[in-house]
Amino acid sequence: MGGLLPKPVTKKETEDGAGAKGCFSFGVSSMQGWRENMEDAHMAIPDFDPERELGLFGVFDGHGGSAVAKVAAATFPNMLSSQKSFSQGRYSEALYEAFLALDEFLDSPAGRAKEQELMKLLESGELDPEDLEEEDEEDEEEEPIEDDETSGSAWANGVGPDGMGCTAVVALLRGGSKPE
């Protein structure tokens, strides 16, 4: 994971779509580049909350492998919609809280297990990365892992979830008469 190829993979994968009401349209294009594997994931949900005319879009850049980016992209929408501040229409606060909840999940036993499971399936070819975009994640609350045998030096040296992470750019858009 994370190594460089002698020549970039320039094949592009493109996807587009629109919400049911046509409020939001999107286009996504990705290219693997110099990395041994694609380490990014995206989410494009034009009908995230149709009643409020909200669309949710994001790109997750995996560091050290694709699994954490895939888990983050699949998990984030449920984390956002489950925030009390989201249901109250305080969207900036909800986004902030959802990212904190996502960080806690990724550092939890359930999050680490999901990352490991995805890493194995992706590396073996048993799971196509495209299949993950449709998968719903359950919002599980677990205590973060404390220093124990699962967070030893092998993990910290980039072999597993401790050595992985991702950055993200996420946009929650509101359509209608007062777009935001």
133-171 tens-digit pLDDT: 444 333 333 333 343 433 333 333 445 555 667 899 999
> Which stretches of the chain drop beneath a pLDDT of 50?
1, 133-158
pLDDT at 64: 66
d(CA 24, CA 34): 32
Phi-psi region of 6 (alpha: psi -120 to 50; beta: other; left: phi over 0): alpha
18: tokens are 């629109």
pTM of the model: 0.75
What are residue 13's DSSP bridge partners? 30
Distances (CA, A) of 19 to 7, 8, 13, 79: 38, 34, 20, 21
